Amino acid sequence: MEAELVVTAVLDTNVLMRVRLMQFLVGVAMAGAFTPRWSASIREELEVTCGRERPNLLEPLIELADSVPDVLLPVNADDLDLAKGGCDVKDEHVLAAALCAARSGSDGLGATRVLLVTENLKDFDAPYALARGVEVMGVDPFGLVLLEVAPMAVLRTIDRQPPERYDSYLDQMRGDGLLRTANRIEELFAEIG
């Protein structure tokens, strides 16, 4: 791993349901930029929600989710109790997973920064979570964190050949709400040549 700081990110279902984003995040995780985590209830919510709203994407998303080793967090009743009052009731299981990750620490790997990555920022009380060791953020700020702590790991996952495919990839990232992340990737590649 390139950074001394270990980034653990609990990914909400709304993040896991985006195929291109998941492909990017799984690649970056496999490159060592961060440790992705979720709970059995988030995984179940992915299957149910995707099966209902985007059944054509269910199989590839489940394959992506299941391709990442050791992601499931052992959320317990204490985590669920602590999550109450820190978010919308329907998202308590997500916050509980992040609190479990914070409680679990880095498993001996060093200092850990625990992030809860979601597109439903309004559903979480960020100060409440932060006071318990969890930063709540959207996908674009998360991309910037990854580029800050492990830029080369992220950049190694991006194919720049042919240039048209690279340009299209960045345009897709921007279209998926990763505007600042795509711009920063472009800047970093310009810096290193």
% of the chain at pLDDT higher than 90: 88
What percentage of the chain exceeds 70 in pLDDT?
A: 94
- The stretch 28-48 carries a mean pLDDT of 95
Q: Answer whether 50's CB lies under 8 Å from 155's CB.
A: no
CA distances from 147 to 66, 69, 106, 185 (A): 25, 22, 20, 8
Q: Over 90: is that where the pLDDT of 41 sits?
A: yes
pLDDT at position 110 is 56
Which element (helix H / strand E) includes 99?
helix 92-104
> Per-residue confidence at 104, pLDDT binned at 50, 70, 90?
confident
What's the pLDDT tens digit per position in 63-94?
999 999 999 999 999 999 999 999 999 999 99
On the question of pLDDT at 150 being above 80, the answer is: yes
Tens digits of per-residue pLDDT, 162-181?
999 999 999 999 999 999 99
Instruction: In whole angstroms, give the CA distance from residue 125 to residue 133.
Output: 13
Cross-strand partners of 113: 7
- Choose among 132, 50, 53: nearest CA to 85: 132
For residue 191, list its beta bridge partners: none
For the sheet with 72-73, list strands across it: 72-73, 35-39, 6-11, 112-117, 134-137
Rounded distance between C-alpha atoms, residue 127 and residue 182, angstroms: 28
Q: Is it the case that residue 105 has pLDDT exceeding 60?
A: yes
Binned at pLDDT 50, 70 and 90, residue 40 comes out as very high
Q: Two tokens at 60?
A: 């590839």
Would you say residue 31 has pLDDT above 50?
yes
Instruction: Note whether 160 and 123 are within 8 A (CB).
Output: no
The token pair at 193 is 């040549």
Q: Which of 4, 21, 189, 11 is nearest to 106 (CA)?
A: 4
Top CATH class, 6-159 = alpha beta
Question: Where do the structural domains in the chain lie, given as residue ranges?
Answer: 6-159
